[in-house]
């Protein structure tokens, strides 16, 4: 029907029976990424939060579908035994869209980034994805742009996040999204959240305050632009958010260490996040955990509202 992106499920994806049944029934399903498990959080906290995020989605009335590559097999939904083994696997790589086939061919396990999770979720027929923060345009003159951004411009999934990670160039990231016609919606906020902090000083043109209004806007966006994602930006819960100055101070110190050590590529973000947690005595880690749980809950509420509104259309 109009406003509901269609996608035949890819044969190269293995979907957990419970998730497959929910999709067949038209029930709400929320995709969850897995680089937060493999590269975003320390062990064994990563396993605890992975389970907690799934519980948040279930409690809010949707089915959680954690997406990962397990020994070369793309999985949509992980049973608990597989989740535990995956979370404790020190050899799991980080896979964006371009690395999915490599992991498959070489029978590797991989945590999927925002871009990879979006691509797989869409291929599986899942329309809502909840994460922490998206990648974006990096600071400085390197010209480095995360693969997350182009994925948002051509994959119709509703992405619930807390903006782009604070370590990025947020004005240039927002400009990139505008240039490529990706709708950026503030959830009960008038400005772009900055991951660990609730505000960035960057004004958003669209704000929604209810999940019903959000679902209607997402569906109408897909009627007009059926190949675009919709980015829903949710501020970090107030009780866990950090002042912008504290985050910037820790980031500057961590960036100086990255430059001195010559750290490059996809190792930069995990290092910065880990080092900032140390420099803030764990405050950024606690903010990360709080916003992940909050976004999972809001993602489930959106998935339910989309299902209900679509069934009435």
pLDDT, tens digit (0-9, with 9 covering 90-100), for 8-54: 777 899 999 999 999 999 999 999 999 999 988 888 999 999 999 99
Q: How many Å apart are CA 192 and CA 59, to the nearest integer?
A: 28
pLDDT, tens digit (0-9, with 9 covering 90-100), for 215-260: 999 999 999 999 999 999 999 999 999 998 898 899 889 888 888 8
Q: Which pLDDT belongs to residue 259? A: 81
Candidate list 33, 56, 99, 151, residue with the active-site label: 33
Taking the whole predicted model, whether its pTM rises above 0.75 is answered as yes
Indicate the pairing of strand 73-76 with strand 63-70: antiparallel
Q: Which pLDDT belongs to residue 14? A: 96
Q: Which pLDDT belongs to residue 4? A: 66
Give the pLDDT means over successive 10-residue stretches in the chain (313 positions): 67 94 96 94 92 98 98 97 96 95 97 98 97 90 87 98 90 96 97 93 96 97 95 97 90 86 77 87 93 98 94 67
Indicate the pairing of strand 128-130 with strand 158-161: parallel
- For the chain, domains (ranges, CATH) are 13-312 (3.40.1790.10)
Q: Which pLDDT belongs to residue 7? A: 66
Q: Which pLDDT belongs to residue 165? A: 83
Q: Which pLDDT belongs to residue 252? A: 87
246 catalytic? Reply is no
Q: Which pLDDT belongs to residue 295? A: 98
Only one residue has tokens 């996608």, namely 7
Q: What tokens does 110 get?
A: 């991989």
165 catalytic? Reply is yes
Candidate list 54, 165, 255, 301, residue with the active-site label: 165
Q: What tokens does 211 get?
A: 């999940």
Q: How many Å apart are CA 92 and CA 96, to the nearest integer?
A: 13
Q: What is the DSSP string of the chain?
A: -TTS---PPPTTEEE-HHHHHHHHHT--EEEE-SHIIIIIS-TTHHHHHHHHHHHHHHHTTSEEEEEEEETTEEEES--HHHHHHHHT-TT-EEE-HHHHHHHHHTT--EEE-HHHHHHHHHHHT--EEE-S-B--BPSSSS--B-THHHHHHH---EEEESSB-TTS-HHHHHHHHHHTT--EEEES-SB--BTTBS--S-B-SEEE-SHHHHHHHHHHHHHH-TT--EEEE-PPPTTT---HHHHHHHHHHHHHHHHHHT--GGGHHHHHHHHHHHHTTTHHHHHHHHHHHHHHHHHHHHHHHHHHHHHH-
Burial 156-170 (b: 16+ CB within 10 A, else e): bbbbbbbbbbbbbbb
């Amino acid at each position: 029907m109009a406003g509901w992106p269609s996608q035949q499920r890819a044969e190269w994806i293995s979907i957990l029976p419970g998730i497959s049944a929910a999709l067949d029934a038209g029930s709400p399903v929320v995709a969850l990424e897995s680089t937060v498990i493999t590269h975003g959080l320390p062990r064994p906290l990563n396993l605890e939060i992975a389970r907690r995020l799934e519980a948040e989605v279930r409690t809010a009335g949707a089915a959680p579908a954690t997406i990962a590559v397990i020994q070369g097999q793309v999985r949509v939904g992980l049973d608990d035994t597989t989740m535990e083994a995956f979370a404790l696997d020190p050899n799991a790589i980080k896979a964006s869209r371009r690395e999915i086939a490599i992991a498959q061919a070489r029978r590797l396990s991989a945590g999927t980034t925002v871009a990879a999770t979006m691509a797989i979720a869409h291929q599986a027929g899942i329309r809502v994805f909840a994460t922490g923060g998206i990648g974006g345009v990096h600071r400085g003159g390197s010209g480095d742009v995360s693969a997350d951004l182009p994925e948002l411009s051509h994959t119709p999934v509703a992405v619930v996040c807390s903006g782009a990670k604070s370590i990025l160039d947020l004005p240039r990231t927002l400009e990139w999204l505008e240039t490529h016609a990706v709708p950026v919606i503030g959830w009960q906020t008038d400005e772009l959240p900055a991951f660990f902090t609730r505000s960035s000083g960057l004004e958003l043109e669209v704000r929604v305050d209810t999940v019903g209004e959000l679902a209607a806007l997402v569906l109408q966006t897909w009627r007009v632009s059926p190949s675009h994602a919709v980015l829903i930006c949710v501020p970090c819960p107030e009780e866990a958010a950090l002042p912008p100055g504290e985050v910037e101070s820790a980031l500057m110190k961590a960036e100086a260490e990255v430059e001195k050590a010559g750290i490059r590529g996809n190792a930069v973000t995990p290092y910065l996040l880990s080092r900032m947690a140390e420099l803030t005595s764990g405050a950024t880690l606690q903010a990360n955990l709080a916003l992940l749980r909050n976004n999972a809950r809001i993602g489930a509420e959106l998935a339910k509202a989309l299902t209900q509104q679509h069934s009435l259309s």
